[in-house]
Each structure stands twice: as structure tokens, then as C-alpha cells.
């Protein structure tokens, strides 16, 4: 992959009314130099298959969350999804198809999510096929059974099937001892088998992977295990075999693990009702998975675009239990990585201290001067060099290290 200069636009709006979102989105398109009549026409062509991926990680607040306010601090608001989809439909000019889908957390109730968001109406709004999918082949009907594969319930998943990618020696797990790897389920042998030496497997949703255009519409949000969750971390929702996703190494550093920072916290965690395994900056595993997912996605040539929903954002104990942050912000560009770098900095964090971003910035030799940031229609000089914390998001516990100082 060769890095090219990117433009990223930021605009403000203080509500989710569809017309307000569409107005601001059109201003963002103009900031990016896109056509006024058909802004996505340079990305979406008639006849294309367009995959739109929101963040639909949950359908309700988990009982373990200490507070519960606006669920839209956790998931993408339907008005943002609809405003983006409207422009995709314009660009397709009556030819092609749209899929809006995600692979939510295994305990999410998809019917409840559809009722809450009202997003299913889009299936009948356009003059082209628009389908909404739950991509999960397995769901958990009771969090008491979380991690127990034999207690999961089978679902159709992606009706278009799956695409398996073997990253081999390109994987960041290639030279990592897999014996302590832990995925979603207690059956760690499945995770280990998927990540041993030349075998580095990820199974993507076919409707996503075989699309001509991938549009990501994530939430602007913090994350306990990686710092921030935006476009790249959101690619977890692209994978249908969740047990291939290595989240941590069992144990603590003295025994080769990064599940907990110390032996005492590991012992305490074994008895805790609500665990926070892997939820600290010393987790040296999950960020590798994020980079791998991005590398796997790039194996197939397609166009990209992202609109990051930060009107109501999530700060603190994300991704499941954040506090609502009224950031009143939309961010957009045609590059997932550039969007994540700018969004992370806007949140008040140093992208170089987010492990998956640091790796990609270094690997691709990205210079901040190659990212043009346009805020409210004006180019922001020294956006990255300025020590301002901008939106100054609260962090998950133990993550103060990533704040701009």
C-alpha cells in the first residue's frame, strides 16, 4: 500500500434531525471538493455493490454498566446512516445494490436493534435493492453463557456466505507464540489453530468483502482494550468467525500473558462477576488483530468512504458502557485510516500512542503534513502539532497515557 495525501473534513451540528444531518454532510462534501449534485459519484458508480457498515455493537445497555443514558453514544444514529445511504442511491442512478449490515456483539438482539433504530424502512425507500443483514452466524441469548460455544444459537449469518483470507507471514501474529491466545470462546484451540505460523486466518462476510465500495459509518468512541474504536477497530464486525479474533494472551506479563497487568489483578479477575480482561494499554495482542483486519480488507481492490458519527459520541468506559459526549461532530473522508488518525487527535489523544495507529503510521511512513484537515470549511494548520486537547474526551480506566500532554 502506498500512502497518498488525504483530505479530512470536520463539521458541527447539534442534532440528529435528518435534514440537519444532510445539510452538514453536504457542506462536508463541498469541503472535500466533491460534486454538489452527486457528491459520491466519484466513488460509487452505477451497477456497483455498496456495503455500508454502521456500529451496531449493542441493542441495549448491558446490566453491568454503571450508568445508562443515550444508547446513541454506543451505536451509530440512523439519521447518519440514512443521509449517507441517500447519497449512495443518487450515485447508483437506479443500477446496483446496497447492503447495510454489521456483526454486532454476540449478545445483541438484532430485532430489538431494528425496532429501536427504525432503520429497516430503508429497504423500501430506494429504486434499487437495499438489504439490511445481521451477519452473525452465532448469537448468545444469555450473557451467563458468554464464551461457551456449545451454548450459542445458530443464525443464518451473511446470506451471501464468507470469504477466508490467510495473511500468512504478513500477519502481525506470524512470529508470536499462539499458545496463550484467547478469542471469543473458551475453546482456545480454535483460535490457536487459526493463528499458528503460516496459517493466519480471518473469515470475512462475503457481502462486505466482495463489495465494490465499502462505506464505514462508525461511532466516535473510546475503547477499553485499544483506546479508540472507529473505522479500523470496527472491522471486527466484518468477521463472521469471531473465534479467529485474538483479543488477549491468557495471564499476566510474568507468564507471557497480557490479559491483566499483574498477577494479583489476574487472580482477582478470576473471581470477578464483571471482568475487564485485556482492558489496559499493555494489551500487546488486540491491536495486532486490528492491523491484520485492515491488511486483509485491503487485499481486494475497492473504493472507500467514511462518515464518523460524533454528534453524540461515547467517552469513558467504551465500547459498551461509555458516557455520552455531546461532541456535535461529523468527520468524513475517502480513507479509513486517515479518518481514524484525525478523529483520534480530535478526541484529544495522540495517534502515535494508539498502538494500531502508530504501527500503520510508521509502516506506511505517513507524515501528518500529508493529511489536510478542513474544519468548518477552513484548513486547520498545525492540527496535529498543536497540543490542544480539542474535544478532550474522558478515557477508559488506565488509559491516561494516550492523552495529549
Under the banding of pLDDT at 50, 70 and 90, the label for residue 268 is very high
Under the banding of pLDDT at 50, 70 and 90, the label for residue 272 is confident
| pLDDT for position 359 | 98
Under the banding of pLDDT at 50, 70 and 90, the label for residue 399 is very high
Q: Which triple of cell numbers denotes residue 134? A: 445481521
Give the separation between CA 398 and CA 261, rounded to whole angstroms: 11
Dihedral angle, C-alpha 179, 184, 185, 191, nearest 10 °: -30
Query: Which of 192, 222, 206 lies closest to 158 in space, CA to CA?
Result: 206
List, for residues 229-253, the tens digit of each pLDDT value. Answer: 999 999 999 999 999 999 999 999 9
* Residue 83, CA distances (Å) to 26, 45, 309, 362 in order: 10, 18, 12, 35
Under the banding of pLDDT at 50, 70 and 90, the label for residue 95 is very high
List, for residues 206-229, the tens digit of each pLDDT value. Answer: 999 999 999 999 999 999 999 999
| pLDDT for position 144 | 80
Longest dimension (CA), the chain: 61
The 10 Å CB-count burial string (b at 16+, else e) for 89-111 is bbbbeeebbbbbbbbbbbbbbbe
Q: Which triple of cell numbers denotes residue 230? A: 472507529
Give the separation between CA 401 and CA 15, rounded to whole angstroms: 32
pLDDT at 47 over 90: yes
Phi, psi for 61 (deg, rounded to 5): -70, 140
Contact status, residue 111 vs residue 139, Cβ threshold 8 Å: no
Q: Which triple of cell numbers denotes residue 220? A: 466516535
pLDDT at 136 over 80: yes
Domain ranges of the chain: 6-247+285-402
| pLDDT for position 145 | 83
Q: Which triple of cell numbers denotes residue 254? A: 510474568
List, for residues 329-347, the tens digit of each pLDDT value. Answer: 999 999 999 999 999 999 9
Q: How many helices (H) and strands (E) does the chain have?
A: 9, 19
Amino acid at each position: 500500500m502506498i500512502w497518498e495525501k488525504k483530505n479530512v473534513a470536520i463539521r458541527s451540528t447539534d442534532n440528529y434531525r435528518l435534514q440537519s444531518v444532510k445539510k452538514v454532510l453536504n457542506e462536508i462534501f463541498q469541503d472535500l471538493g466533491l460534486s454538489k449534485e452527486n457528491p459520491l459519484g466519484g466513488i460509487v458508480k452505477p451497477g456497483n455493490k455498496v456495503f455500508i457498515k454502521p456500529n451496531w455493537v449493542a441493542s441495549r445497555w448491558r446490566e453491568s454498566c454503571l450508568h445508562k443514558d443515550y444508547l446513541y453514544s454506543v451505536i451509530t444514529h440512523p439519521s447518519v446512516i440514512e443521509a449517507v445511504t441517500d447519497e449512495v442511491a443518487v450515485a447508483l442512478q437506479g443500477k446496483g445494490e446496497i447492503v447495510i449490515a454489521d456483526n454486532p456483539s454476540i449478545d445483541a438482539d438484532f430485532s430489538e436493534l431494528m425496532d429501536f433504530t427504525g432503520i429497516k424502512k430503508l429497504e423500501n425507500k430506494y429504486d434499487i435493492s437495499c438489504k439490511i443483514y445481521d451477519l452473525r452466524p452465532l448469537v448468545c441469548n444469555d450473557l451467563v453463557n458468554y464464551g461457551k460455544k456449545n451454548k450459542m444459537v445458530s443464525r443464518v449469518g451473511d446470506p451471501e456466505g464468507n470469504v477466508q483470507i490467510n495473511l500468512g507471514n504478513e500477519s502481525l501474529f506470524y512470529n508470536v507464540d499462539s499458545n496463550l491466545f484467547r478469542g471469543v470462546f473458551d475453546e482456545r484451540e480454535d483460535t490457536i489453530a487459526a493463528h499458528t505460523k503460516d496459517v493466519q486466518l480471518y473469515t470475512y462476510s462475503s457481502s462486505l468483502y466482495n463489495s465494490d465500495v465499502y462505506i464505514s459509518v462508525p461511532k466516535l468512541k473510546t475503547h477499553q482494550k485499544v483506546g479508540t474504536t472507529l473505522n479500523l477497530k470496527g472491522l471486527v464486525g466484518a468477521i463472521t468467525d469471531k473465534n479467529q479474533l485474538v483479543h488477549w494472551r491468557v495471564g499476566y506479563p510474568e507468564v507471557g500473558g497480557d490479559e491483566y497487568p499483574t498477577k494479583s489483578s489476574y487472580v482477582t479477575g478470576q473471581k470477578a462477576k464483571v471482568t475487564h480482561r485485556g482492558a489496559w494499554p499493555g494489551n500487546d495482542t488486540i491491536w495486532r488483530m486490528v492491523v491484520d483486519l485492515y491488511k486483509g480488507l485491503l487485499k481486494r481492490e475497492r473504493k472507500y468512504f467514511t462518515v464518523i458519527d460524533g454528534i453524540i459520541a461515547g467517552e469513558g468506559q467504551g465500547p459498551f458502557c461509555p458516557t455520552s459526549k455531546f461532541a456535535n461532530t461529523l468527520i468524513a473522508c475517502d480513507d479509513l485510516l486517515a479518518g481514524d488518525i484525525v478523529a483520534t487527535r480530535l478526541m484529544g489523544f495522540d495517534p502515535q500512542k494508539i498502538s494500531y495507529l502508530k504501527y500503520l503510521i510508521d509502516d506506511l511512513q505517513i507524515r501528518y503534513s500529508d493529511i489536510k484537515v478542513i474544519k468548518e470549511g477552513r484548513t486547520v494548520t498545525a492540527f496535529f502539532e498543536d497540543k490542544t486537547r480539542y474535544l478532550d474526551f474522558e478515557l477508559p480506566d488506565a488509559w491516561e497515557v494516550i492523552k495529549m500532554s
